[in-house]
Amino acid sequence: MEGPDLGSPLGLPPGAGPSRSHRCALSARGLEKVRQQLQEEVRQVSSQLLEERKRRETHEALARRLQKRVLLLTKERDGMRAILGSYDSELTPAEYSPQLTRRMREAEDMVQKVHAHSSEMEAQLSQALEELGGQKQRADMLEMELKMLKSQSGPADQSFLFSREEVNSLRSKVEELEGARSRLEEDKKMLEMRLERLTLQGDYDPSRTKVLHLRMNPASAARQHQHEEHAQLQEECERLRELVRALERGGPVPAGLEATAALPSSKEVTELRKQVESAELKNQRLKEVFQTKIQEFRKACYALTGYQIDVTAESQYRLTSLYAEHKADCLVFKATGPSGSKMQLLETEFSRTVQELIELHLLRQDSIPAFLSALTLDLFSRQTVA
C-alpha cells in the first residue's frame, strides 16, 4: 500500500485544480511567513537599537570623564602659569640662581607637557562628541525603522487572525494524513518482516513454487517419532492420574496400575500408616515425659540453690532469687568461652546494688558459687530482720 502523493499540496492529484481550502491554506501560509519575517526584523532592529543605546551611554560617560579631566588639567596649567608669573615679577635677573633657573625650566617643561596633554584630551573629547552625535543619529534612524516595521506588521497580524481557524483546520488535516501515512508505512514494514520470516521458515506460494517430497523424508520421520512419543507420554500421564485417584480414595489399587507403577499393595500401605502413627504417638509421649522431667529438674534446682533459672536468649541465663525483695530483682549471666565453660555477669539494675559482693567474690576470688551463696545469705538476712 502506498501513502498519499505528497508532491502535490495536501496530497491532491496532480491534475486536480486548487480548491478554496487550498487557496486559503496558501494565503495563510504566506501571511504567516510574512508575519514571521516582520517579527524577526523587529527583533533584530530592537537588538540593534539596544546595542546603540548602550554604546551611546558608554560614550556619554567617557565624554563626561574627559571633560572633568580637561577641566582639572586646565586649572593645573593656569596654576603653574600663575606661579611662574609670580616668580618673574618678584625676582630680577641678577637675583636668579642656577637652582632657580633649573626649577623654572622644569616648570616650563611641565607646563608644556600639561598643555600638550590637555590638547590631546580636547581632541579625544571632540572625537567622542562626534561619535556620540553619530550614534544618536543612528539610534533615531533605528527607532523610525522600528516604528515603520511595527506599522507594517499590524495588517499582516489582522489578516492572520482572520484566517487562523482555517489554518488550524488545515493543519489538523495535514497531521491526520501524516499519521495515516506513518501507520501505513509501519504496517508495510511489519508485513515485509513477516513475509521474510515465513520465507525463512520454509513457507512458499503454491501458485509459484512446486515442492517435491521424498518418500523417505527425515523431517516426516522425526515428526512421526515425536507424535508417537507424545502419545506414549499422554497414556502414562493418564495411568498416573488413575493411580493418584485410587490412592486418594484409599481403596485397592488396580492390578494393572500396581504392575505398571511397581508400588506396594494396599495392605503394605496400611501397615506403613500404622507404623507412622505409632511412631508419632511415641514421639508425643516422649515430649510430654521430657517436659515433665524438665519442670521437675527446674523445681529441684530452685528448691536446692534458691535461684530460678530461665533462658532469656541464646547463651544468656536469668537468675531470680527465692528471697528477692522485688520480682524485677534478677541477675543475668552470659556463657562465654568454648562450649560455654565460662560465665560473665551482665549489668542490671539489681547488680548495681550489690557492688561490694561483686568486687569481693567475682573480682577478687573469681567464684560465682561463692557470690551466689553470699547473695542468698544477704537477702535471707534482710527478710529475717524485716
Which residues are 72's β-sheet partners? none
Residues linked to residue 318 through DSSP beta bridges, in sequence order: 310, 332
The mean pLDDT value for 237-264 works out to: 68
Give the Cα separation of 74 and 72 in Å (integer). 5
pLDDT in tens, 96-112: 566 666 766 776 777 67
pLDDT value at residue 12: 42
Evaluate if residue 62 carries a pLDDT over 90. no
Q: State residue 252's pLDDT score.
A: 63
Residue 90 scores a pLDDT above 80 = no
Is residue 179 within 8 A of residue 50, CB to CB? The reply is: no
The set of residues, in sequence order, having a beta carbon less than 8 Å from that of 269 and lying 6+ positions away, is 247
Nearest Cα residue to 104 out of 91, 117, 118, 120: 91
Rounded Cα–Cα distance for residues 197 and 191 (Å): 10
For residue 35, count other CB atoms closer than 10 A to its CB: 15
Q: What is the chain's Cα-based Rg?
A: 58
The DSSP output letter for 18 is P
Amino acid at the residue 371: F
Q: Collapse the DSSP code of 221 into the 3-class scheme (helix H, G, I; strand E, B; otherwise coil) and give the result.
A: helix
Q: Which three cell numbers stand for residue 269?
A: 500401605
> Taking the C-alpha atoms of 71, 75, 78 and 84 in order, what is their torsion angle to the nearest 10 degrees?
-140
Of the spans 187-201, 208-222, 225-239, 363-377, which averages the highest pLDDT? 363-377
Place of cell 494524513: 177
User: What are the DSSP E strand ranges found in the chain?
Assistant: 307-313, 316-321, 331-336, 342-346
Cα 307 to the center of its chain, rounded Å? 60
Q: What b-and-e string marks burial along 88-109, b requiring 16 or more CB atoms within 10 Å of the CB?
A: eeeeeeeeeeeeeeeebeeeee
Residue type at position 316: Q
C-alpha cell at 145: 525603522
Are residues 9 and 26 in contact, defined by beta-carbon separation less than 8 angstroms?
A: yes
Which of 114-118, 166-170, 357-361 is most confident?
A: 357-361
- Quote the pLDDT of residue 356: 93
Q: Does residue 371 surpass a pLDDT of 80?
A: yes
Q: Under 8 Å CB-to-CB from 122, ≥6 apart: which residues?
A: 70
pLDDT of residue 9: 42
**For residue 308, with 0-12 CB atoms within 10 Å meaning exposed, 13-18 middle and 19 or more buried, which class applies?**
middle
Closest CA to 358 of 336, 378, 337, 339: 378
State the average pLDDT over residues 4-15.
42
Which tens digit of pLDDT belongs to each residue from 155-188? 555 555 545 677 777 788 888 888 888 888 888 8
Beta carbons of 45 and 150 less than 8 angstroms apart = no
Return the higher-pLDDT residue of 72 and 317.
317
Q: What is the pLDDT of residue 37?
A: 77
- Measuring CA to CA, how many Å separate 126 from each of 57, 59, 113, 140, 144? 16, 11, 20, 21, 27
Q: How confident is the model at residue 240, as a pLDDT?
A: 81
pLDDT category of residue 358 using cuts at 50, 70 and 90: very high
Flag the least confident range among 152-166, 259-273, 313-327: 152-166
- Segment of 5-19, 41-55, 266-280, 355-369 carrying the highest mean pLDDT: 355-369
* Prediction pTM value: 0.32
Averaged confidence pLDDT in the chain? 76
